[in-house]
A and B are shown apart, each in its own frame.
Chain A
Amino acid sequence: MKVLVLGAGNLLLSDEGFGVHVVRYLAQHYVFPEAIELYDAGTLGIMATHKLEEADVVYLVDVVLAEGAPGTVLRYDKEDFMLSRVPVKLSPHQAGVQEMLLVSELRGRCPSEIYLLGVIPVSIEPGVSLSPLLAQRVGEVADGLVTELRSRKGLSISSC
């Protein structure tokens, strides 16, 4: 089983870079087995499809523009992506996660499990630092993810 932890986001737009900060935190605080890959995808979009396809289990870490208090962490799974009402779009192929997954499924290579850990941002203004609230969430989300990964069979993760 191969696990991909994909951090998405733009490091130049403060909280937008949350996913990348989480991946960096994981790399600094833990030693992962070969079966787990950390991937800093930046804002790669459809060009990251192959990374998803190489894994059986994918955790996406990103910000989400959802209703709720900033700092709230929301969790979505594959069902949410696949069955949620498809957005009405002018462009038939604006490349979001849902598109990537559907294209992968058409190719017969969609990962069997996929989760999105999404946090509601405080600010996405230009800047290289996270807001204090989201800076605090980085460790919480990362440590929570490690706990979850450790509960899976055969994955041993040590702290460094």
Chain B
Amino acid sequence: MAARTITLDPVTRIEGHLRIDAEVDNGQVTRAWSSAQMWRGLEVILKGKQPQDAWVLAQRICGVCTTVHAIASIRSVESALKVAVPMNANYIRNLIMAQHSLQDHIVHFYHLSALDWVDVLSALKADPKKTAQLAQSLSDWSGNSEGEFKAVKEKLSSFAAGGKLGIFSSGYWGHPAMKLSPEVNLMAVSHYLKALDYQRKAAQVIAVVGGKNPHIQNLVVGGVATAINVDNLATLNMERLSLVRSLMEETREFVRQVYYPDLMAIAGAYKEWFKYGAGVTNYLAVPELPEDSANTQFSLPGGVITQGDLAKFRPITSHSDAFLVDNIQESVAHAWYDGGAPLHPWKGETKPAYTDFKPDGKYTWCKAARFAGQPMQVGPLAQMLTCYAAGNARVKRVVDEANDKLGIGLADYHSTMGRHLARGLRACVMADVSLEQLDRLIANIASGDQTYANPVEIPNGEFRGVGFHEAVRGSLSHWMVFKDKKIENYQAVVPTTWNASPRDEQGVMGPYEASLVGNPVADPENPLEVLRTVHSFDPCIACAVHAVDPAGREITRVKVV
């Protein structure tokens, strides 16, 4: 059979529009193209604005990754002006980062990707009693009673009878690649519904600590504007900090007792997916959760791994490490921009030049981010592998424990399922570090430290800075050049720029593209396997147009040529 090209557009479930073209020959993908279908425009909007205000607009790039852009933006000004951030401010920011990660990982696993693996219609055939026995054998979470599963099954059945399962039923139910038992499916669907309560708790923590959710209000250059006084009712006081603690404990319980066991059950049932989807096995993660005021000591280390070889790990020691700052470039050889050779982000240009989709020419709005000339995979997998290679005890413990349970090794992580596993393990880590950061904040306040910001005036003159952040979806950097208090150049190299990047000058594919090559596709009309691999990256083309479409038009097209 001749090779055929399938086009999936869009494939993202949240932000923006991602189009994937995959050439399928003999039941597997032979070539692939990743195309961002929207232009972000942030860089152009920020030109001429004041550097200290950029974070407010930057967190509007994306509706899901709000706080991460705020953090990276404010850090870029702090880096330019070499402002030390007081420890109270770092603990508060760390708390926000960790809780945002948790909220996002829970939603990604259950609401944005689990249904690639879980068959809702099969859950209708499950025996609630057996489901309860199964779930209770996996964890002693209180929500795993026979009554709970029975209620969910009844509700699902009544929806199905009324034709209301539309949101689920147009999916891949009955696809030959679906293989969980009805009981595991019912358990997963039930937890899918419950998970919304726990992502909400994380959002509540962010709202209490950051002033508002989804867009935090409490950042200033040099720290945070959070008013904390343990005895004052009008501020973040002891009572509200206790609320934060109990919310975080409940979410940690959910991650340990529900998310983690569900992930183990799904990974265990789909072990062949540890063989597919490796793609680019160069990994980049920046160190995160600062433990000092100059961003040189971190709870979670960072670094670079090349060719999937942990022995080739090279650490990144700080956010100003020249090895990190100097090695990043973006290529527009295959992106819809004018320009020549790859440019460092401080010199970056944003000159749109749309040409239509040309597989051998320009085919995306996403630039090709490269590190020392190489494509890099970023995200929870990159962070877990670099932390492991750096010998971080906390990460080693969770990775080794999961490997024992599943009977897998580190080599299996370079895969579609490896990305899901790493994200779940990162959620476990984030749940723990959240409580640790809160303890440190309270201890620091108790020791008499009352400083929350080292305020600075933006001086005249020319400055450039970069704010790094190991965000939910991977390494993020905001690059800013400002002169006489006005922004001259702004470039955001977002995690998806790394992962969704197109080919570069040398024709080397980006991570999404490379991960699809060799991916099986049983039925080109229903390319569930392609979605599994792309979704495992947690794609988010940060530029959403999300206009409601009342006509009920076809939202995603599968076109088989």
Q: Which residues of A contact B (CB under 8 A)?
A: 8-13, 16, 40-50, 62-67, 74, 76, 80, 82, 84-99, 102-103, 105-108, 116, 118, 121, 124-128
Residues of chain B lying within 8 A (CB to CB) of residue A41: 63, 214
Q: Which residues in window 130-170 of B have CB below 8 A to A?
A: 152, 155-156, 159, 164, 166-170
Q: How far apart are the CA atoms of A85 and B66 in the complex, in Å? A: 32
A sample of 15 cross-chain residue pairs with beta-carbon separation below 8 angstroms, ordered by A number, consists of: A9-B546, A12-B61, A42-B66, A44-B63, A62-B548, A64-B547, A65-B547, A66-B550, A89-B170, A89-B554, A91-B531, A92-B168, A92-B172, A107-B196, A124-B547
Residues of chain B lying within 8 A (CB to CB) of residue A50: 196-197, 199-200, 203
Q: Say whether A106 contacts B15, CB under 8 Å.
A: no
B57 at the interface (CB under 8 A from A): yes
Residues of chain A lying within 8 A (CB to CB) of residue B311: none
Q: Say whether A89 contacts B556, CB under 8 Å.
A: yes
- Who on chain A is nearest to B527 by CB? A90
B215 at the interface (CB under 8 A from A): yes
Name the one of A16, A47, A98 contacting B107, with C-beta atoms under 8 angstroms: A47
Q: How far apart are the CA atoms of A46 and B64 in the complex, in Å? A: 9
Q: How far is the CB of A101 from chain B (nearest CB, A)?
A: 9
- Who on chain A is nearest to B114 by CB? A93
Q: How many residues of B contact A (CB 8 A)?
A: 62
Name the one of B120, B203, B555, B558 contacting A94, with C-beta atoms under 8 angstroms: B555
Q: Say whether A86 contacts B167, CB under 8 Å.
A: yes
Q: Say whether B60 contacts A12, CB under 8 Å.
A: yes
Q: Say whether A128 contacts B550, CB under 8 Å.
A: no
Q: Which candidate, B41-49, B331-339, B504-512, is the interface stretch facing chain A?
A: B41-49
- Who on chain A is nearest to B163 by CB? A86
Q: Say whether B171 contacts A91, CB under 8 Å.
A: yes
Name the one of A10, A98, A108, A128 contacting B545, with C-beta atoms under 8 angstroms: A10
Q: How far apart are the CA atoms of A16 and B170 in the complex, in Å? A: 29
Q: Say whether A64 contacts B546, CB under 8 Å.
A: no
Q: How far apart are the CA atoms of A103 and B39 in the complex, in Å? A: 31
Q: Say whether A87 contacts B555, CB under 8 Å.
A: yes
Chain B 54-66: CB-based contact to A (< 8 A → 1; otherwise 0): 0001001111101
- Who on chain B is nearest to A60 by CB? B548
Name the one of B155, B159, B545, B549 contacting A16, with C-beta atoms under 8 angstroms: B545
- Who on chain A is nearest to B212 by CB? A40
Name the one of A66, A90, A92 contacting B8, with C-beta atoms under 8 angstroms: A90
Residues of chain A lying within 8 A (CB to CB) of residue B557: 90
Q: Say whether B196 contacts A49, CB under 8 Å.
A: yes
Q: How far is the CB of A48 from chain B (nearest CB, A)?
A: 8
B111 at the interface (CB under 8 A from A): yes
Q: Say whether B13 contacts A95, CB under 8 Å.
A: yes
Chain B 104-125: CB-based contact to A (< 8 A → 1; otherwise 0): 0001000110010000100000
Q: Say whether A88 contacts B215, CB under 8 Å.
A: no
Q: Say whether B552 contacts A87, CB under 8 Å.
A: yes
Q: Which residues of B contact A (CB under 8 A)?
A: 8, 11, 13-15, 39-42, 44-45, 57, 60-64, 66, 103, 107, 111-112, 115, 120, 152, 155-156, 159, 164, 166-172, 193, 196-197, 199-200, 203, 212, 214-215, 531, 543-558
- Who on chain B is nearest to A104 by CB? B196
Residues of chain B lying within 8 A (CB to CB) of residue A13: 41, 543, 545
Residues of chain B lying within 8 A (CB to CB) of residue A44: 63-64, 214
Q: How far apart are the CA atoms of A36 and B212 in the complex, in Å? A: 17
Q: Say whether B111 contacts A42, CB under 8 Å.
A: no
Name the one of A43, A98, A107, A108 contacting B544, with C-beta atoms under 8 angstroms: A43
- Who on chain A is nearest to B535 by CB? A91
Q: Say whether B547 contacts A107, CB under 8 Å.
A: no
Q: Say whether B45 contacts A128, CB under 8 Å.
A: yes
Q: How far apart are the CA atoms of A82 and B62 in the complex, in Å? A: 27
Known A43-B64, A92-B168: A106·B548 in contact at CB below 8 Å: no
Q: Say whether A45 contacts B549, CB under 8 Å.
A: no
Name the one of B62, B200, B212 contacting A43, with C-beta atoms under 8 angstroms: B62
Residues of chain B lying within 8 A (CB to CB) of residue A63: 547-548
Q: Say whether B167 contacts A12, CB under 8 Å.
A: no
Known A13-B41, A42-B60: A91·B550 in contact at CB below 8 Å: no
Residues of chain A lying within 8 A (CB to CB) of residue B546: 8-10, 16, 43, 45
Known A10-B63, A99-B167: A64·B193 in contact at CB below 8 Å: no
Q: How far apart are the CA atoms of A92 and B178 in the complex, in Å? A: 14
Residues of chain B lying within 8 A (CB to CB) of residue A9: 546
Q: How far apart are the CA atoms of A86 and B103 in the complex, in Å? A: 28
- Who on chain B is nearest to A101 by CB? B167
- Who on chain A is nearest to B9 by CB? A90
Name the one of B13, B66, B120, B214 contacting A91, with C-beta atoms under 8 angstroms: B13
Q: How far is the CB of B542 from chain A (nearest CB, A)?
A: 10
Q: How far apart are the CA atoms of A11 and B547 in the complex, in Å? A: 13
Q: Say whether B193 contacts A106, CB under 8 Å.
A: yes
Q: Say whether B170 contacts A86, CB under 8 Å.
A: yes
Q: How far apart are the CA atoms of A137 and B63 in the complex, in Å? A: 23
Q: Say whether B550 contacts A118, CB under 8 Å.
A: yes
- Who on chain A is nearest to B43 by CB? A126
- Who on chain B is nearest to A13 by CB? B545
- Who on chain B is nearest to A18 by CB? B547
Q: How far apart are the CA atoms of A16 and B60 in the complex, in Å? A: 12
Residues of chain A lying within 8 A (CB to CB) of residue B15: 43, 45
Residues of chain B lying within 8 A (CB to CB) of residue A126: 39-42, 44-45
Known A106-B156, A107-B193: A64·B200 in contact at CB below 8 Å: no
- Who on chain A is nearest to B551 by CB? A66
Q: How far apart are the CA atoms of A125 and B42 in the complex, in Å? A: 11
Q: Say whether A42 contacts B215, CB under 8 Å.
A: yes
Residues of chain B lying within 8 A (CB to CB) of residue A128: 45, 57
Name the one of A80, A90, A95, A121 contacting B558, with C-beta atoms under 8 angstroms: A90
Q: Say whether A16 contacts B171, CB under 8 Å.
A: no
Q: How far apart are the CA atoms of A111 and B156 in the complex, in Å? A: 19
- Who on chain B is nearest to A67 by CB? B551
